[in-house]
Chains A and B, each alone.
Chain A
Amino acid sequence: MTAIATGANVSAMSSVPQAIRLTGKRSRIVRERFIESLLMLAALVSVFTTLAIVTILISESVVFFRQVPLWDFLTDTQWTPLFDDAHFGIMVLLSGTLTSSLVALALAIPLGTVIAIYLSEFAPFTVREVAKPFLEMLGGVPTIVYGYFALLFVTPLLQKVMPGLPGFNLLSAGVVMGIMIVPYVASISEDAMMAVPMSMREGSYAMGATRFQTALRVVVPAAFSGIASAYILGISRAVGETMILAVAAGMQPNLTFNPTEPAATITAYIVQVALGDLPHGSIGYQTIFAAGLTLMLFTLTCNIAGHLLRRKFREAY
């Protein structure tokens, strides 16, 4: 203490008794420690959130699987949990989720990638400066608005091309979902491509390569880990999307891989149950947690796959 309090400090503090200075220092240390623990507690809230999600999903699902064998859950081809003759075949809901996601990704991945390459390698500065905020805004539109758009704009439009299309179908929901995902795929891929050092492009141009060749054979491979994580994010968005499907794809469970049919997805089923009033603790109440657990496992698998992909293909410069 005395070693630190030199120079001007000594004259300023010499009138203060040593004991008070020491308690002042101690209280200061205590206060600092207290603040640090408070901040750490706040950071741990996110860990508690994850633990709570896992605990709630598993504990409610355990009750569910006591009544419905896991094998039936995975192999049954009917999903009629609220009927007297109840069947719990998650395949039925999973088929809706997979079909709509495939439609969405078939649109979002090519479109998003092309936009990203264009913005990063081809677009003039002004186009990029205008387009990026536009894309960000497109990503910020609430999904319920996209749901309205799918049901009352895209479906009538598609019905003009395909006259037999029912009012609720996976196709228009999937298409709109794809448009919704494009900004995510495009902006993350573009960030990854922009991070590729300029010297690599210059090397390629010096060898006489065109911009297209450089983009395809130098920039994209170098940014592949970032692009892969953009795709993975797109997949988990598509699988977890709820409102577009609840509004535009109908809520009828239907084991199909045909996008022109109406079908319920896992997420739409959860919404349907929540809209009715099922008593807490009933089997219908527990089905949504089993469905949620399936969804969570699916997206978790995607995230882990993305993590491994990133690690495998990461290029360091």
Chain B
Amino acid sequence: MAATDVHAIRALIASRKRWDAAFAVLGFLALMVGVLTFVALFTEMAVRGLPRLSYEFFTAFPSRHAEHAGILSAWVGSTLVMLVTAMVAVPLGVASGVYLEEYAAKNWITDVIEINITNLAGVPSIVYGLLALGLFVYEFGLGQSILSAGLTLALLILPVIIVATREAIRSIPQSIREGAYALGATQWQTVSDHILPYSAAGILTGMIIGLARAIGETAPIITIGALTFIAFLPPAPVSAAPPFLNFEWLTSPFTVMPIQMFNWTSRPEAAFQANAAAAGFVLVIMTLAMNGLAIWLRYRLRKNIKW
């Protein structure tokens, strides 16, 4: 009797251990599905797109002839839109983060703002496009311009920057603030001389992740009515003659990298799809580089800071 019990228990233990090992294998395989998909995606882009990548590809306008077409107007457009997005989203996001962490009283207004930010992060990006179409394009009369697109993407990535700023600020120990107040610093002096410099790296990480997301966004920009075929550049923001800076480019029509890629992907000819792969390759490299930089920065940050 006792002997059979021992056998039964041993069998049970063995079967439990088999389950354990089986799940470890299953988990690893699941992880590999993700990794292999990424490898397949990257290889597909590289194999089909790399032959098209040349100096001309970056310096040519889109064309009806696939072999002469390039992404000049697309990357210039993307750069200018990102410039507007960063200029708007970073100050607003950092200011909101600082307000919520350092100033906000515990009252219903703060609660409303916090719930709002959480909800905004879950709003589909195309809804931001509809907002921009109704508000920026028609209500404010900004038209289908670089300014409209930049503002739209700024609103879209605002929650990312706010959350990153708050996390960075929250990791600063209270004693830093107390030290500053003890020396007679005002609240703003404490924030501008201590809180902001110490959280700068964390904020930078959030900014890069936000911009990496914005640069790949297609849907909201299509919704505001960006053109898919642009064979000219916006007026240059900087000129040699006075007044040196001009802002005409803000109201110029434009296209961006993902829209150019979408345009080429939806054509049936294989030659254009090769162009799409090349544009996609550039886009993937750009977002990977930005995300990689952010991950590396965060890693460095975690390693170097000891309060």
Report Cα–Cα, A196/B30, bound state, in Å.
23
| Chain B residues within 8 Å of A236, by CB | 122, 124
Partner of B38, one of A45, A138, A303: A138
Query: Which of A53-61, A67-75, A255-263 binds B?
Result: A53-61
Report Cα–Cα, A239/B123, bound state, in Å.
10
Asked whether A86 is an interface residue with its Cβ less than 8 Å from the other chain, the reply is no
Partner of A212, one of B20, B95, B218, B277: B20
For window 43-68 of A, CB contacts with B under 8 Å fall at 43-47, 49-50, 52-53, 56-57, 59-60
* A25 CB to nearest chain B CB (Å): 10
User: Who on chain A is nearest to B19 by CB?
Assistant: A212
A144 engages B34 (CB within 8 Å) = no
| Chain A residues within 8 Å of B262, by CB | 144, 147, 243, 246-247
Query: Which of B61-69, B155-163, B246-254 binds A?
Result: B155-163
Query: Which of A11-19, A158-166, A219-227, A289-297 binds B?
Result: A289-297
* A91 CB to nearest chain B CB (Å): 19
B158 engages A56 (CB within 8 Å) = no
Report Cα–Cα, A299/B124, bound state, in Å.
8
Asked whether B213 is an interface residue with its Cβ less than 8 Å from the other chain, the reply is yes
User: Which secondary structure dominates chain A's binding surface?
Assistant: helix
Asked whether B297 is an interface residue with its Cβ less than 8 Å from the other chain, the reply is no
User: Who on chain B is nearest to A132 by CB?
Assistant: B295
A49 engages B155 (CB within 8 Å) = yes
* A168 CB to nearest chain B CB (Å): 11
Q: Mark B96-112, 1 if CB is under 8 A from A, else 0.
A: 10111001100000001
Asked whether B188 is an interface residue with its Cβ less than 8 Å from the other chain, the reply is yes
Report Cα–Cα, A217/B26, bound state, in Å.
18
Q: Mark A96-131, 1 if CB is under 8 A from B, else 0.
A: 000000000000000100110111001100010001
Q: Mark B24-65, 1 if CB is under 8 A from A, else 0.
A: 101110110111011011001100000000000000000000
Report Cα–Cα, A111/B30, bound state, in Å.
6
For this complex, 19 residue pairs linking A to B, each with C-beta atoms less than 8 Å apart, are A36-B187, A45-B92, A46-B113, A46-B117, A46-B120, A57-B130, A117-B27, A118-B31, A123-B27, A142-B216, A143-B219, A152-B277, A153-B40, A153-B44, A243-B262, A246-B262, A267-B219, A274-B222, A275-B228
Known: A31-B188, A153-B44. A147 touches B265 (CB 8 A): yes
* B188 CB to nearest chain A CB (Å): 5
9 A-B pairs closest in CB distance: A240-B124, A118-B27, A142-B216, A42-B95, A56-B134, A242-B219, A39-B99, A43-B96, A140-B291
Known: A141-B284, A213-B16. A45 touches B158 (CB 8 A): yes
Q: Which of A47, A138, A275 has the most CB of B within 10 A?
A: A275
* B50 CB to nearest chain A CB (Å): 15
User: Who on chain A is nearest to B97 by CB?
Assistant: A43
Total chain B interface residues with beta-carbon distance under 8 A: 86
A288 engages B130 (CB within 8 Å) = yes
Asked whether A206 is an interface residue with its Cβ less than 8 Å from the other chain, the reply is no
For window 242-271 of A, CB contacts with B under 8 Å fall at 242-243, 246-247, 267, 270-271
Report Cα–Cα, A210/B218, bound state, in Å.
47
| Chain B residues within 8 Å of A288, by CB | 130, 223
Report Cα–Cα, A106/B131, bound state, in Å.
31
Q: Which of A46, A53, A271, A296 has the most CB of B within 10 A?
A: A46
B187 engages A32 (CB within 8 Å) = yes
Partner of B124, one of A39, A43, A267, A275: A267
**Beyond known contacts A123-B27, A236-B124: 11 more, CB 8 A cutoff:** A45-B92, A45-B96, A111-B33, A122-B24, A141-B288, A147-B265, A149-B41, A152-B273, A267-B219, A270-B223, A299-B123
Known: A142-B258, A280-B138. A211 touches B20 (CB 8 A): yes
A47 engages B112 (CB within 8 Å) = yes
Q: Which residues of B contact A (CB under 8 A)?
A: 16-17, 19-20, 23-24, 26-28, 30-31, 33-35, 37-38, 40-41, 44-45, 91-92, 95-96, 98-100, 103-104, 112-113, 116-117, 119-120, 122-131, 133-135, 138, 155, 158-159, 162, 186-188, 209, 212-213, 215-219, 222-225, 228, 258, 261-262, 265-266, 273, 276-277, 280, 283-284, 287-288, 290-292, 295
Q: Which residues of A contact B (CB under 8 A)?
A: 28, 31-32, 35-36, 38-40, 42-47, 49-50, 52-53, 56-57, 59-60, 111, 114-115, 117-119, 122-123, 127, 131, 133-138, 140-149, 151-153, 179, 182-183, 186, 210-213, 215, 233, 236, 239-243, 246-247, 267, 270-271, 274-275, 277, 280, 288-289, 292, 295-296, 299-300, 302-303
